[in-house]
Amino acid sequence: MIAVPLVNQSRKFSDRVAVIDHLGRHTYASIRRSALHLHTFLLPEGEADLHQSRVAFLVPPDFRYVVSQWAIWLAGGVTVPLCPQHPVAEWEYALGAVRVSQVIVSGEFIEQMSPVADQMGIRIICLDELKLGRDGDIADGNIGESDLSRNANILFTSGTTNRPKGVVTTHGNLQAQIETLVKAWDWRKEDHTLNVLPLHHTHGIVNVLCCALWSGATCEMLPKFDACQVWERLSSGEVNVFMAVPTVYGRLIGDYEQVSQKEQAQRSRSLREFRLMVSGSAALPVPVFEKWKEISGHDLLERYGMTEIGMALANPYSGERRPGTVGQALPSVETRVVDGDGRDVEPGESGELWVRGSMVFKEYFDQPEETAKSFHESWFKTGDVVCVEDGYYRIMGRQSVDIIKSGGYKISALEIEAVLRRHPAIADCAVVGVEDPEWGERVSGALILRKGQNLSMVELKEWAKEHLAHYKIPSQIQIVVDLPRNVLGKVLKPKVKELF
């Protein structure tokens, strides 16, 4: 068995509750024991290390997620979390792209995953057959020194070209990402957070789940985001730390505005007791910041991060949190703001943000050229344009118009265009993100139809349901414009925005 930083850390908190979910309350000791039990099933007979082979897991967001994650690490594997809401084709892509050798699934996914795993020659392990949580007397594992250079986790992120890339972080990267936030935001074992975010992205995994577990705190998990249910838990008096994307705060505000004044007063009272509320993954609109302050009494702490680097910039835990900005570099994160020639710009001028530090990922899996292109010496080039004003960073946008952020998800415009072009009535198209108060950006397409073809919005949405399910864009595509081809050339594409 391999020594794992997060698992070793959990020994300090054995009797505390680590996870609360629809199945019950799970202590650190019980999760650790279940993980130890599961890890033995991942190892070939007589062996103690998977030698960093990739193990995917497809489980709902509950204690089984943590058990699977820890078990894979204890067996010396690299975690590849899959999203339960994704279509099968997306799982297939992920399994193939990082050459997964085993996949752990819970019972509800076995039917869908079995044929895929069989066809790809991937070993499948069904959690339900292992009786997790009922394995009282398993030895408590290796508390030796961890090898931080080992690969730990792979998450997928969209680029502008090609399919999503697998971002490889080592145990050292993860530990640095976690420790930076634990320190900056004063995580403690008495904290109780509520996770409503997907667990195949860094926001939910690192900022919420791993930081809570590193600190001995409790992470409560909801099966999916539901504004009413979230309000119920936020008002319970038990939760004191909350983190989400701006769309979630917008939804919570919408729900708050619909309840009685008495209920509003109760909700507001509960929020005032919170220790920390954070927003990130996309720009927090100032009106949302202000409305949330009115409701909760809190200045939301807005921070900036990326799958490749964890969190880099954040407004202060103590001190002024300035709306519309993402604060300063977090401790142990080095930053530069540079022009097109890689020269540092003057404060107040815009430039690309470059980041360096032990939290920065190791590589894009199997893509040395992409990896090399994204670095300048030891600096990771984020592709985000920023400006430092009065000591506070402001995110001005992405360098590429082909990256869209919608609901906190990163989406490649080029990838959607490629799919749309497969439609028999579509000759060409341009996809852009159009500013939207609810989603941050909305995926919008301008289409050229083939001669003599008609395509209604209803027909397109039906088609998109099948072909673009992963992006949820069926209801996002908002405008079809049958543009003349000459308006839609690559050169004009950045300007398509202005047409809407």
| CA atoms of 98 and 372, how far apart (whole Å) | 18
Which does residue 302 touch among ligand AMP, ligand MLC, none (CB within 5 to 8 A, set by kind)? Answer: ligand AMP
Using the rule CB under 6 A, is 322 a contact of ligand AMP? no
Nearest distance, CB of residue 261 and ligand AMP, angstroms: 32
Residues 294-313 that bind ligand AMP (CB under 6 A): 302, 304-307
- Pick one of 2, 326, 359, 483: the residue that binds ligand AMP (CB under 6 A): 326
Sign of CA dihedral 12, 14, 17, 18: positive
Check binding of 157 to ligand AMP (CB under 6 A). Answer: yes
Report the phi/psi class of residue 243: left, alpha or beta, with left for phi > 0 and alpha for psi in -120 to 50. Answer: beta
Residues 435 and 448: beta-carbon distance below 8 Å: no
Q: Provide the minimum distance between the beta carbon of 309 and ligand AMP in the complex, in angstroms, as a whole number.
A: 9
CA distances from 71 to 19, 173, 474 (A): 16, 19, 37
Find, among 295, 330, 324, 325, the residue nearest to 310 by Cα. Answer: 330
CB of 90 to ligand AMP, least distance (A): 15
Element (H, E) at 248: helix 246-256
60 touches, from ligand MLC, ligand AMP, none (C-beta below 5 to 8 Å by class): none
280 binds ligand AMP (CB under 6 A): yes
For residue 414, give the amino acid letter. L
Query: Binding partner of residue 200 among ligand AMP, ligand MLC, none, CB under 5 to 8 Å per kind?
Result: none
Q: How far is CA 276 from the centre of its chain?
A: 20
- Report if residue 63 touches ligand AMP, rule: CB under 6 A: no
Q: Measuring CA to CA, which residue among 68, 72, 19 is closest to residue 43?
A: 72
Tokens representing residue 322 in the block: 């300035």
Contact between residue 34 and residue 133 where contact means Cβ atoms under 8 Å apart: yes
Residue 175's binding partner, choosing from ligand AMP, ligand MLC, none, with beta-carbon cut-off 5 to 8 A by kind? none
Cα(326)–Cα(246) distance, rounded to whole angstroms? 13
- CB nearer to ligand AMP: pick between 132 and 395: 395
Applying CB under 6 A, which of residues 251, 275, 381, 405 lies at the interface with ligand AMP? 405
Report the partner that residue 326 touches, choosing among ligand MLC, ligand AMP, none (CB closer than 5 to 8 A by kind): ligand AMP
Sole binder of ligand AMP in the list 199, 221, 243, 282 (CB under 6 A): 282
The partner residues of 126 in beta bridges, in order of sequence, read 105
Residues 6 or more apart whose CB falls under 8 angstroms from that of 374 comprise 308, 364, 380, 381
Q: Which stretch binds ligand AMP (CB under 6 A): 1-9, 281-289, 363-371, 412-420?
A: 281-289
Q: Which residue, 202 or 240, is less far from ligand AMP as judged by CB? A: 202
* Tokens, residue 204: 């939910």
- Please, what is the minimum distance in Å from the beta carbon of residue 282 to ligand AMP? 5
Question: Minimum CB separation from ligand MLC for residue 475, in Å?
Answer: 4
Least distance to ligand MLC, CB of residue 69, Å: 17
User: Should residue 395 be labelled a site residue for ligand AMP when binding is judged by CB under 6 A?
Assistant: yes
Q: Of 127-135, 260-268, 279-287, 413-421, which part binds ligand AMP (CB under 6 A)?
A: 279-287
Residue in the structure block whose two tokens are 């069989």: 118
Instruction: Calculate the CA 16 to chain-centre distance.
Output: 26
412 binds ligand AMP (CB under 6 A): no
Which residues would be at the binding site for ligand MLC (CB under 6 A)? 197-198, 201-204, 224-225, 245, 247-248, 280-281, 305-307, 406-409, 439, 442, 472, 474-476
Contact by Cβ (8 Å): 79, 57: yes
User: How far apart are CB 187 and ligand MLC at their closest, in Å?
Assistant: 17
Q: What burial letters (b/e) apply to 60-88, b meaning 16+ CB within 10 Å?
A: bbbbbbbbbbbbbbbbbbbbbbbbbebee
Closest separation in Å from C-beta 278 to ligand AMP: 10
Helix, strand, coil: what percent of the chain each, to 5? 35, 25, 35
Our CB check for ligand MLC shows the closer of 57 and 439 to be 439
State the nearest-atom distance from the C-beta of 469 to ligand MLC, in Å: 9
We find the least distance from the C-beta atom of residue 225 to ligand MLC, in angstroms, to be 4
Residue 443 contacts ligand AMP per CB under 6 A:
no
Angle at 238 between CA 236 and CA 240, to 5 degrees: 110
Q: If you ran DSSP here, which 8-state letter would residue 440 be given?
A: E
Cα separation, 49 vs 47, whole angstroms: 6
Question: Of ligand MLC, ligand AMP, none, which one sits near residue 157, judging by CB under 5 to 8 A according to partner kind?
Answer: ligand AMP
Binding-site ranges for ligand AMP (CB under 6 A): 157, 202, 280-283, 302, 304-307, 326, 382, 384, 395, 398, 405, 410
